[in-house]
Chain A
Amino acid sequence: MLGGRLSLGQVIAAVGAIIVLVASFLDWVGSGGVSGGTVTGPGGASVTVPGVSGPSFNVWEIPGSVLDVFIVVAGVVALLPALLAFADAAEEFSFVSAATFVLGVVGILLVVAFLTVDFPGEGAERELGAYIGLAGFLVMAFGGFRAMQEEVVAGEI
């Protein structure tokens, strides 16, 4: 059903959007916490103290961040062709592939900036979710670029 309506680029972009949306619910920022150890008391008695992990935040929990809203907008735009195909709708938007590419590239820049120069909090740690989100935006941008090229080849632009 979908294979006939969606180009390979649109499918790749939709997969990238799903990766980013799922990653937004994983931890992006962690506060490190305290590592465990063994405490030796008087008389040689020792007690093993377990490590305590600090609080972690996903994109939705980072205070004051607009990354969550951007991820939703970019995700919806990238998923639009697949959603229309699922709904069997006749509408087709010529700008979606270009928009997916542009939003994907800006998403890459935002997450790279987030991981490097704009990381919130002192002593906080970068968590896996941020890297998966970055990978998702890379896939989304590649899919959007490929979909644009496929549209040019098909003579739709």
Chain B
Amino acid sequence: MDANRLSQGQLIAAISAIALFIISFLPWFGISGGVVVQGVGAVGGSTNFSLWEAENPLDIYLMIVILVALVPAVLALAGGAGDAPLAPFATALLAGVGTLLILYQVFDTPGDADRKVGLFLGLIACAGVAVGGYLSMQEDVGGERY
């Protein structure tokens, strides 16, 4: 496989998508609190949730974004880049909406849970996928390839 077959936009989208997949397993939300146990005293504790553990359709949505972003790269590496003309547009659109959805979660966390590092890294990675998709669209119009 030759990575030079990928355009700059496809490369950015694919790397960001892989990063987003890895980040999805980091803690995105956390619940911290303490309980008073008789005879023991106050016992504190916190539980963190990855994207997949939080009851939220965002995991399914971001999985779709990751797959859509990786498809053009895989097709390009396989030598069939012309088989998915809608892919760069779909990548840019879905990742753009995904960035909006993660941003919404930053301000409106489920059940007043704490924001964890995965949420912010996921936001950056999803924005990276959107930028890569947009650049890929521009390259398709201009006919540029690295």
Contact = CB atoms under 8 A, between A and B. Distances in A.
Contact of A106 (B56, B64, B86, B110): B64
B143 interface: no
Contacts of A121: 55
Nearest to B65: A106
Contacts of A114: 57
A110 B64 CA distance: 9
Contacts of A69: 100-101, 104
A120 B97 contact: no
Contacts of A63: 110-111
B89 A66 contact: no
B8 interface: no
Interface of B: 54-61, 64, 86, 89-90, 93-94, 97, 100-101, 104-105, 109-111, 113
Interface stretch (A40-48, A81-89, A96-104, A133-141): A96-104
A22 interface: no
19 contacts: A63-B111, A64-B54, A64-B111, A65-B56, A66-B57, A66-B58, A66-B101, A70-B57, A73-B97, A73-B100, A98-B89, A102-B93, A103-B97, A106-B64, A106-B94, A109-B64, A110-B57, A113-B60, A120-B55
B101 to A, nearest CB: 4
Contacts of B110: 63-65
Give me the 9 closest cross-chain CB pairs, A-B, nearest first.
Answer: A64-B110, A113-B60, A66-B101, A102-B90, A120-B55, A66-B58, A69-B104, A64-B56, A110-B57
Contacts of A93: none
Interface of A: 63-67, 69-70, 73, 95, 98-99, 102-103, 106, 109-110, 113-114, 118, 120-121
Contacts of A65: 56-57, 110
Given A98-B89, A102-B93, A118-B60, A64 B109 contact: yes
Contact of B86 (A102, A113, A118): A102
A67 B110 CA distance: 13
A69 B102 CA distance: 11
Nearest to A69: B104
Of B57, B58, B86, B110, most buried by chain A (CB within 10 Å of CB) is: B57
Given A66-B57, A66-B105, A70-B101, 11 more contacts: A63-B110, A64-B56, A66-B56, A69-B100, A98-B90, A99-B89, A102-B89, A103-B93, A109-B60, A114-B57, A118-B57
Contacts of A70: 57, 61, 97, 101
A116 to B, nearest CB: 10
Contacts of A64: 54-56, 105, 109-111, 113
A103 B60 CA distance: 14
Nearest to A111: B57
